[in-house]
Amino acid sequence: MPSYSDHQIEDDIVNRKLTAPRLTPESIDSSISDEQYYVFPGSTLTVCCLTLRNGYRVTGESASVSRENFDEELGRNIARQHARDKIWSLEGYLLKEKLYNGPHI
């Protein structure tokens, strides 16, 4: 089964007119206020730290098996995607909690 990008999934949701409260790629991106990267010296291990608007931080990692395949930009992109994936879970929980508790929050 092919993998879909966030924007392809979003297009499918919109085309199917699924309009209940939900998260979007834009809402996830707007929750990020800062990003930092670190490549451990002598390694291919790249860590991305995304800071959310409320100050909470999430991290993602990437590493290539062989040094010959290491590309810093690609490592940063993969590490960022892994960190960003964690935001979906956090924001999903937050939205569900708001819906559960109703408009009095």
What's 68's domain CATH number? 3.30.160
Cβ atoms of 48 and 86 within 8 Å: the answer is no
Question: Residue 12: in which H helix or E strand, if any?
Answer: helix 6-15
Looking at residue 29, what is its pLDDT? 96
Q: What's the number of domains the chain is made of? A: 1
16 domain-assigned: no
Q: Is the pLDDT of residue 103 over 80?
A: no
Looking at residue 5, what is its pLDDT? 86
2 domain-assigned: no
**C-alpha to C-alpha distance for 25 and 69, rounded to whole angstroms:** 30
57 domain-assigned: yes
**C-alpha to C-alpha distance for 84 and 59, rounded to whole angstroms:** 8
Cβ atoms of 52 and 31 within 8 Å: the answer is yes
10 domain-assigned: no
7 domain-assigned: no
Q: The pTM is what?
A: 0.87
For the stretch 20-76, pLDDT in tens is 999 999 999 999 999 999 999 999 999 999 999 999 999 999 999 999 999 999 999
Tokens for 54, please give them. 């409320």
Q: Which domain holds residue 30?
A: 23-104
